[in-house]
Structure 1
């Protein structure tokens, strides 16, 4: 059950110690968004803004967060979409659906970063953060390199 059906957005440099319910905090500097779970359980939900995780669309008035937010590791297991500042409850997922999505996510990250997808569970968050910091540039010719080339001009 969703308690907070509308989220006000706030662009911030750093997230506050205590997240205010009904507010979606967006830190462009740290490439992430955070909010108190919309079910009302009070748990903190952080969504990294990356090409393989979540992205936001800001239309000058409201924010859309894509894809949906699935709080599978929280006791509430909430699932919802944030579209133009409104929270839309989504159907619950089974454990099998969650496992399938986690495998798809690992493959997408491996593909994006030019690595072979692991057959085992992903590393814990501290390991993932330290690994990501040392991740090399995507290979030349990837869609990301071509997109960057449009902004920078031809490769040197």
Structure 2
């Protein structure tokens, strides 16, 4: 069990769990005991106007399953979060995977080396998908009209 107390938090405005940041203001606002379980709407709190604008913890305890925060406010309040719920509801942006496989092309490059054309009746999914990923497009031929829409839907959403 990892336990943090008072002075550690004087400069930080968040707690980090598995590389994800959770700001205290967000944690206090999303306290599970202050919300209805099903629609997850906030319960009426008659003391809400007495809460500090920037909530600060008195203590923070983190273990494998829960994050427990005792807040520096009157009346005393404790928030207990499931680590699983926090990670599922994290607002940190997903890290974008950098890839060296992207090929930046222009007309001249495509004229030097034309992209491969794939026959839909005999194609290897991995090969054409790799070209789609690296070039951003692929040339397919011999797709029967009745199979076109299901095929396009398997690649991604269809926009008209």
Bigger Rg, structure 1 or 2? 2
The structure with the greater share of residues assigned to helix is 2
TM-score by length of 1: 0.21
Greater RCO structure (CA 8 Å; 6+ sep): 2
